[in-house]
A = this chain, B = another copy of it.
Amino acid sequence: MTEPAYVAVDWGTSSFRLWLIDRAGKVLAERRSDEGMLAAAKAGFAGVLQSHLTAVEAPAQLPVLVCGMAGAKTGWVEAGYVDTPAPLSAVLKQAALVPGETRDIRILPGIAQRDTRAPDVMRGEETQLLGALGLGAPGEALVCMPGTHSKWVRVKDGTVVHFSTFMTGELFSVVSRETILSLAVAGADDAEDVASFKAAVKAAYEAPAFAANLLFTARSRQLLFGGTPAAARETLSGTLIGVELAAGLSGTVPKAGITLIASGRLAMLYRLAFDALSVTVQPIDADEAVRRGLSMAAAAIWTK
């Protein structure tokens, strides 16, 4: 095994991921837990991090680079924001040092859009963008990053020029669990219902104003015509994603299509959704992107 060069951490609201990485960017060890920002704020950030560093036997002086909500005001140490138009190269240069630690621990800043008509913030996605697009890549990209709070980001020549957050994932969560529609999806198995999903994406894309109506039809359809809980769940999911796509695709779409940064089930759902609308996507794995972004930043900070 080669020597570790640094530790990379993606510390989100509800998840924690750590990688032990060597000088060549190779992953030597990995840790995943649900000790995200919310849990760590109670348990103590330093202790949570140290427990994972101990588990991967990280040497005492090995530096650590963190991205994500750990840098929020309600996180460990506030890492501030780079304001739009935000060159991704600026993200590397503004990491906040965690004070009072013997080890060199830094947290990357987020990006803020200080536009009173479209105020927005991201933390963690800037690092994925860095890993996915690289520094100063020429040309324009329209990036879709699905999640609890999906981001649509327009990047031009390596600079984030505009972005919008859509709380699609969180809406799906509360709509399917906390409203009357929970009755319609109760007991849904994991069986996919691609037809229901794609039909819902198209219907919502074509008439986004009817979102709150299309959601309700998941229940009315069951009452009047029957239908499985899985079909109802796919209708909710497809409706919410379809509305997001109607907004995201309302501007100019680059010739190469949409850059989709996603992993796992979300990557699959969004690819289906774009497919339903015949929109080309360039898929990039989100897990790999954030690790690559952290590696690029670590190299810039400690190896230069």
Contacts and interface: CB of A to CB of B under 8 A. Distances in A.
Interface residues of A, number: 44
A225 interface: yes
Interface string A159-190: 00000111110110011001111000000000
Number of copies: 2
Nearest to A178: B174
A253 interface: no
Contacts of A175: 171, 174
Contacts of A243: 209, 211-212
Given A208-B208, A224-B112, A224-B119, A213 B174 contact: no
A22 interface: no
Interface string A211-241: 1110111001101110000000000000010
Nearest to A169: B212
A170 B166 contact: no
B167 A225 contact: no
Contacts of A211: 208, 211, 243
A60 interface: no
9 contacts: A113-B220, A114-B225, A120-B217, A120-B220, A165-B216, A166-B212, A167-B212, A209-B209, A209-B247
Q: Which 7 A-B pairs have the closest CB atoms?
A: A208-B209, A209-B246, A209-B247, A166-B212, A119-B220, A174-B174, A119-B221
Interface of A: 73, 112-114, 116, 118-121, 149, 164-168, 170-171, 174-175, 178-181, 207-213, 215-217, 220-221, 223-225, 240, 243-244, 246-247, 250
Given A119-B217, A167-B212, A210-B247, 7 more contacts: A73-B223, A118-B217, A119-B221, A171-B175, A174-B174, A174-B179, A213-B247
